[in-house]
Amino acid sequence: MSEIVYPPVIKTALALFKALNIRFRLEGTEHVPAAGGAVLVSNHVSYLDFIFAGLAVHPAGRLTRFMAKKEVFDNRISGPLMRGMHHIPVDRDAGAASYKAALTALKGGEIVGVFAEATISRSFTVKEIKSGAVRMAVAADVPLLPIAIWGPQRMWTKGRKRRLLQRNVPVTILIGEPMYPKRGDDYAQVTADLQARMGELLEKAQREYPEEPTGDDRWWQPAYLGGTAPTPEEAAELDRKESEERAARRAARADAERREGDAA
């Protein structure tokens, strides 16, 4: 597979992080397979997570093909980059195609990146995850690689102003031991175990983070550590309301298009 776009993007990102004095803590790189497929499963705290999750496997000389919503590929700026890096578009109305593409990549020896929470966690804890990552790993006969990212939420997360050029932000990336699910396993239990491992990694990253917020900056700290981020229950309610509003907007657009079609 030709890699014309991905390496320059990584070099550019690393140069920018150096200029901004982003201080990395990257642990567990020995768990990244030197070759062969794997499903990289990351928590999701910011819009920048795919960049940092991709850097997790960089020391091993690997690249990650992330599964991302189709809208990112439709964007005139991010779209060409995503396609050039051979990431995998996910169309929620045609999920079978993206699943097949991911399996093809895994069986071809690629690392496929998944944000199993589907959306950014407003509570900055690991939300309930679906069994898709586990089923994909089993179908391709590859390991699951859980990771946790902490710090990028300070630069750009849901409901907060972008601060992409913020300097001196520590970023923690912890890679856990691989899991090897197999056919016949209880997928629900394996998924629960995966979520628990991700939660443990994230809590470790949070508790050992070199900075502690004060005053108004406590928004980026989870509630269980004294921050003002929503609790998991409050975050779930916010997500529910957002989902309902999004569905209402889609229905309104569809109705408007139907009316235009009837009038034409």
Each residue of 202-248: pLDDT tens digit?
999 999 999 999 999 999 999 999 999 999 999 999 999 999 999 99
Contact 147, 55 (CB under 8 A): no
Each residue of 90-126: pLDDT tens digit?
987 777 899 999 999 999 999 999 999 999 999 999 9
Tell me the C-alpha distance between 231 and 244, whole Å: 20
257 conformational bin, left if phi > 0, alpha if psi -120 to 50, beta if neither: alpha
Give me Rg for the CA atoms of the chain: 19
* Domain coverage including residue 250: 231-264
Looking at the structure, tell me whether residues 124 and 201 fall in a common domain: yes
- Retrieve residue 174's tokens: 């912890």
**pLDDT confidence bin for 127, thresholds 50/70/90:** very high
Distances (CA, A) of 74 to 70, 93, 114, 119, 235: 6, 15, 19, 18, 28
Looking at the structure, tell me whether residues 189 and 241 fall in a common domain: no
Phi and psi (nearest 5°) for 174? -115, 130
Looking at the structure, tell me whether residues 146 and 26 fall in a common domain: yes
Looking at the structure, tell me whether residues 97 and 53 fall in a common domain: yes
Phi and psi (nearest 5°) for 128? -60, 135
Q: Quick check: is 224 in a domain? A: no
